Amino acid sequence: MAEGGSLCRSEAQYGQPGQRLTLADGDTVWVALQGAHVVSWQAAGSERLYLSPRNHWDGQGAIRGGIPVCFPQFNQRGSLPKHGFARNSAWKAGQSVVQDEHVQQDFTLTWSAQTLAIWQPRFEARLRVALLPGELAVTLTVHNTDTRPLQFTGALHSYLAVADIGQTRLHGLEGQPEWDGLTDHHASGSGVLQFDGEFDRVYGAAPAALQLQDGAKCLEISQSASWANSVVWNPGREKCAAMADLPSDGFSHFLCVEAAQVFAPISVAAAAHWQGWQRFCLLGD
């Protein structure tokens, strides 16, 4: 379906099935059905997400880069595989809406014998990817289709492309509770975050949008209040060199800024649902 030059269509890339969303102005997103994973977001003529050139694209292993959906577990904080099973599962493309300056596509993942073998709740997860000029919004909705409450943690683990991590600045977390995962130290966030080595911190989500400054480029990052945390991560040079799915200089070209639920699980009552989103908007180029 297309109107005014905008469209949504099935398109395979890297040997994997997916969906291509394109606006009349040329902004475009490609979403892999593995994980409902936003792999690419091109806006105003530039790629805005980082994607590792060392991905295997075997349809099994996690995709490094883009926006992985971590559900129903954050990292290794539980008994499930790291970051849960959603990012390695096959999602189904669903409803789409196409207008002149707005394209959106829904993707769904539903409980199965495979999920029940490792996680008991019956559920339906829906990821809505919405593209507007200079703006991308990703919304995760979790429906509890079981007869008892379910609990989960997770994240939208966004890899944002930067020209040089050493010159990158992140604004907006001043005064927010901060936990440093490298030192197990608790503090308050500083006004401007800079990156000169491995960085792994969890913040209380700020009430206002963050700003990622990458030279002359500026990206506004906002998230719904339903996510309690914001995670900021970069592996640094040494850890990056030890990661098989990243090139040795990969660390210098991205910063992860994640809408997340890390410490306290979200509880969803039987027959109820939860929704959380993250949005990116170009402010300058």
Residues forming the active site: 157, 258
- Residue for token digits 């890899």? 159
The answer to whether the CB of 40 falls within 8 A of the CB of 52 is no
Element (H, E) at 255: strand 254-268
* CA atoms of 162 and 47, how far apart (whole Å): 10
What's the token pair of residue 121?
Answer: 């709740």
